[in-house]
Structure 1
Amino acid sequence: MTPSLSALTEALLAAAKRAGAGSADAIAVSGTSLSIDIRKGALEQAERSEGVEVGLRVLMGRRQACVSASDTSAATIEALAERAVAMAREAPEDPHAGLADPSQLATAWDASALDLCDPSPEPSAATLEQDARTLESAALSRTGITQVEASSGYSRRQVHIAASNGFHGGYARSSRSLSAVAFTGSGTAMERDWAGESLTHASDLPDTASIGLLAADRTLQRPGAVQPKTGTYPVLYDERIAASLIGHLLSAINGASIARGSSWARDLLGQPILPPGFHLTEDPHRPRISASRPFDAEGLATHRRNIVEDGILTGWVLDLATARKLGLTSTANAARGTGAPPSPSTTNIDLTPGTASRDDLIAAMGTGLLVTSMIGSTISPTTGDYSRGASGFWVQDGRISHPVHECTIAGNLRDMLARMIPANDARPHLSMRVPSILIPAMTLAGA
C-alpha cells in the first residue's frame, strides 16, 4: 500500500537529514487522468494513467540539487537522498538558494474554501465516451461539417509539500474537459476551428452539445479565406486569444527574466505599462478556478495584489531566489514540479474590462483585422518586438466582411499594451480573465 503523500514527504526529509543535508524540501504528487478521443465515429484513443511521483531538493550551504522518482519504496527514498546530497556537494554555489525563513511561512489556510476538487465520483470511461460522441454528433448536425475530432477528459491531482523549516501543507484539484475540432471542405480548401471548456467541477461545464455546435459554427465561417492587403490597420484580438498578449507581459515581468536583465520591461517598475484606469490583478483565492492555491511551492501564503494599478507596473513576479537576487521580498509566486527547484509563476489573472462589447469595438475600428487564431511566434524578450502569423476575419466599414488567413501582424509589445482598448467579454470561469483587445494600429503583412 502506498503511504500518504504527507508520510512520503516526511520520509524524504528524514532520509535527507540522515544523508547529511543541511536543509531540504520535498514534494509528493499523486494523479489520475482519463481521456477519450472520438474521430470519424470511432473510438480513436482511450488513455488512463495514475501514479505517484516524489521530488527532493537538498541544500548544502548555498549549494543545491534536485532529484525525483516514481518509485516510493523505502530503499528508493534512501537512495534518492544520498544521491541528492552527493550532487549538491558538487554543485556550483548559488548565493540566492535557500528555504524560506520560518517567519515567512503560511501558518493558516483553508484549502476547502477554494473548492478546487470535485467531490463527485470519478466519471467512467463510458461516460466520457458518451460525452465525446455527443460533441461529435452535435457538430456533424451542421450541414457542411465533414469530420469531427472530439475529446472528453478527467483528471485529479493531489500535492503535498514539506520542508525542514517546518512547513507542511497539501491540497487537491480536479479537472473536467470537453473539446471538439470540426472540419469542412477537403484538400487545400479544408478549414477547421474548435471549441472547448475545462473546469474544476463537472457541474460547471456548459451543455455538451453546445460546445460541438460552437466548433461547427466557427468552422463554417472559415471557407473562402483570402490574404488581406499589406498595410497598417487596427487589430482586434478575439477573447479566445487575447490572453496571449497579457501572457507576454507576465513573461516580461517574471523575476527570472528581470534578474537576468533580459526583459523589455526591466526598467518599467513604477512606470506606465497599460492605459490609465486599468489594473492587472492576481487573485490566487478564486473558488473553483484551476490556478487557485492557498500557498506557493515554498510554503508562503498567497495573496491578492494588483500587479498593475491604474496602468502603473507595481511589482515583479517573484519566488525566494529571484527576490533575493533583486534585493526584494518574494511575492509568493513560487511553483515547482518534482524534478526542479522552484521558479516564479502567476496564478489567476484579471484584466480590468472595458465598457464596450466586442461588436462595439468592431464597429469602431472601421477597417482592419479581427484575429481569431495565431500560429508561430517571433518575439524578442529584450526589445518586445512582436511578430505572429494570424488568421481571422476582415472588418470593412465596421462590419465583418470575409475570412482571411496567411498574414502576419507585427508591432512592439510596450507600445501595443500602452494603447490597448479592452472589451467587456471575458469569460468569468477562466483563470486568466482577459476580454477581447483592440490595438489601434499594427503592421499587417499579407497579399
Structure 2
Amino acid sequence: MDMEKIAKSIISKAIQSGADECDVFISIDEEFSATIKDSEVESLKQAVTHGLGIRIFKDRKIGFAYTTNFSSHIIQKTIDEAISLAKNSTPEPDNQLPQIYSHAQTQVKIFDPDVFSISVEQKIKIAKEIEEIAKAFNPKIKVESTGFGNLIQRRVIANSNEFFGEYEGTIFEIYCSAIASDNAESQTGYYSSVSRLFERLQTPEHVAKNASIRALQLLNPKKIKTGKYPVIFDPMTASAIVSYIATAVNGKNAYRKMSFLSDKIGKRVGSEILTIVDDGCLEFGIGSKPFDDEGIQTKGKAVIENGILKMFLLDSIIAKKFSLPPTGNAHRKYNTIPAPSPLNFYIQPGYKTLEEMISEINEGLLITKLIGFGVDIVSGNFSKGASGLWIKNGEISFPVDKITIADNLKNILRNITSIGNDLIFFSNIASPSILVSEMTVTCD
C-alpha cells in the first residue's frame, strides 16, 4: 500500500467534505514473539496490525474517528463520522492544528534492517539458550519462562497544513523470569534487555544470570525494625520512580491540577544533583523518532535541571493553554487523539558505581523489587511494597522481603543525595541507581 497516497487522499477528501483542518495518523505494526517453557515453545505469535485515525477540526470543534479497513468506501465513511462528531462537539479556542514552521525532520537512527534476516528458528534458539543458562546457573533456579520478541513499527502522519512524514523503527527484546527455591520458600527474579538494534541486545548469558541472581539474592529474608533509613533504588526500580515523575510533568495533568508539580515551573523541586532529560533524538533510543505524532520535530531538553523544574511535556493543544510552543511530545495510537507523553525520559547519570553508593551507607536498604500501586500523582504520596537487600556498615548483609517504603515524591526528589553511573534503558523511561537519604520503611 502507498501510505503517502492514502494519507494525502484522506486530507483532500476531508477538506472537500467540510473540514476546516484535519490530520491523519496511520500505524502499521509487525510483531513477533516466542515464549519458551521447559525447552518447548509455549507460545508463538506473528501478527500484523494496522489502523488509521482521522482528526477533524470544524469551527474550533474536534471530531475523531478511526478504522482498520483501508478501503476507499470505509475511509470516506470514517471521514464523514469524524465531521459529524465535530459538528456536535463543544468548541474550544485552542482547537486547531499546530503550526509547523519547518518541515525539516530530525535524522534519528531507530531502524535495524537485520530484523528481516533473523529467522524464527534463530529467535527460538536464543530464547531456549536463555532458559538453559538460567537452569544451569544454580540448582535452586527454576525458569518460569524466557522469550524473544521483535516489533517493526511504521508511522505515517499528514495534515492539511501540507505536512507529511513517515518513519520506520524496530525494537528487540529478550527476557528471563526465574524462580529461586530453598525448601518451602521461593522468590522470583526478572531481567530483560531491550534495544532498537539486534546486535546491541545483551547476551543470553547476561539476561539469564541477572534474572537468576535477582531471585537468589532474595532467598531467606530477615526482619528489620520499622524506621527511617537511606534507600538505594537500583536501575530497574528507580525507573519506576522516574515513570511517576513523567506522569507528573505531563502537561495535561499539570493543566488540570492533577499533578503535585502543577504551578512549579521555575521552582526547585529536586536535589541540585538531579537532572531529568527527555530526548526524542537519542540515537537508537527506545522512544526516539524524527517527529512526534502531530509532526512536531523532536529534540532533547532538560525537564528538571539541577533540581529546577524547567518545563512540562506538551502536545500542541495543551501547549496553547499554557501559551507555550509544543515540546514535540504528542503521542497517539490510531484509535486515540494526541496527548503528551515522554520520549526517552531519564535521570542523567552520575559518576559513582552502585558498590560505591552502598559503601557510604551505615544502615539502609537496596531496593530491587517494587510491588503494587500506591502512588498518588496529585498529592505525591508514595507507598509501595518492596523487596531488597539490607545494608550494614557499607556492605550487603541479608535480604528483606514484605516491607513497605513510604514518603512523598516531593521529598524523594529533594532527598536524592547520590546518582549512579549505571543508566540502563529497560524501556523509554530509565534511570541509574539513585540514593534517597531517608524514607520510612515498615516491616510487615
What does 1:385-396 correspond to in 2, within 5 Å? 385-396=381-392
Structure 1's unaligned 5+ residue stretches are none
Q: Provide, for residues 154-207 of structure 1, a one-character-per-residue CA deviation record: whole Å limited to 9, x for no partner.
A: 110100100001110011100111001111227961211011101111111122
What is the Cα deviation at residue 78 of structure 1? 0.8
2:251–2:313 CA contact under 8 A, matched in 1: yes
128-137 or 222-231: bigger deviation: 222-231
Q: Distance in 1 between matches of 2:238 and 2:54?
A: 37
Q: Distance in 2 between matches of 1:80 and 1:430?
A: 34
2:140–2:182 CA contact under 8 A, matched in 1: no
2:288 is aligned to 292
TM-score (norm 1): 0.94
TM-score (norm 2): 0.95
Alignment of 1:30 with 2:25, yes or no, is no
**Pick aligned residue for 2:68 from 54, 70, 78:** 70
1:164 is aligned to 160
**Alignment length (residue pairs):** 441
**Pick aligned residue for 1:135 from 117, 130, 133:** 130
2:51–2:335 CA contact under 8 A, matched in 1: no
CA 1:251–1:109: 2 relative to 1, 3 Å: same
What does 1:142-181 correspond to in 2, within 5 Å? 142=137, 143-181=139-177
What does 1:82-121 correspond to in 2, within 5 Å? 82-101=80-99, 104-111=100-107, 114-120=108-114, 121=116
Alignment of 1:444 with 2:441, yes or no, is yes
What SS is found at the alignment partner of 2:23? strand
**Pick aligned residue for 2:194 from 184, 195, 198:** 198
Q: Distance in 1 between matches of 2:428 and 2:29?
A: 21
1:227–1:406 CA contact under 8 A, matched in 2: no
Q: Distance in 2 between matches of 1:383 and 1:80?
A: 41
CA 1:244–1:157: 2 relative to 1, 3 Å: same
Counting aligned pairs with the same residue, the percent is: 26
**Pick aligned residue for 1:21 from 15, 19, 42:** 19
1:147–1:183 CA contact under 8 A, matched in 2: yes
Q: Distance in 1 between matches of 2:51 and 2:204?
A: 33
1:435 is aligned to 432
1:8–1:28 CA contact under 8 A, matched in 2: no
**Pick aligned residue for 1:123 from 105, 118, 122:** 118
44-53 or 268-277: bigger deviation: 268-277
- Residue type at the aligned position of 2:134: A
1:81 is aligned to 79
Q: Distance in 2 between matches of 1:308 and 1:188?
A: 46
What is the Cα deviation at residue 49 of structure 1? 0.5
Q: Distance in 1 between matches of 2:377 and 2:149?
A: 35
Q: Distance in 2 between matches of 1:304 and 1:46?
A: 37
2:254–2:263 CA contact under 8 A, matched in 1: no
What SS is found at the alignment partner of 1:379? coil
Q: Distance in 2 between matches of 1:68 and 1:382?
A: 32
Q: Provide, for residues 336-387 of structure 1, a one-character-per-residue CA deviation record: whole Å limited to 9, x for no partner.
A: 1112221111212342323322111112121111110111122222221111
Q: Distance in 2 between matches of 1:40 and 1:406?
A: 30
Q: Distance in 1 between matches of 2:184 and 2:251?
A: 45
2:303 is aligned to 307
CA 1:108–1:165: 2 relative to 1, 3 Å: same
What SS is found at the alignment partner of 2:360? helix
What does 1:321-400 correspond to in 2, within 5 Å? 321-400=317-396
2:219 is aligned to 223
1:194–1:218 CA contact under 8 A, matched in 2: yes
Q: Distance in 2 between matches of 1:52 and 1:126?
A: 26
What is the Cα deviation at residue 258 of structure 1? 1.3
What is the Cα deviation at residue 217 of structure 1? 2.4
**Pick aligned residue for 2:59 from 58, 61, 77:** 61
1:228–1:405 CA contact under 8 A, matched in 2: no
What SS is found at the alignment partner of 2:372? strand
What is the Cα deviation at residue 274 of structure 1? 2.1
Q: Distance in 1 between matches of 2:427 and 2:381?
A: 28
Measured on the aligned residues, the alpha-carbon RMSD in Å equals 1.8
2:7–2:24 CA contact under 8 A, matched in 1: yes
What is the Cα deviation at residue 31 of structure 1? 1.3
Q: Provide, for residues 65-93 of structure 1, a one-character-per-residue CA deviation record: whole Å limited to 9, x for no partner.
A: 21111111111111111111111111122
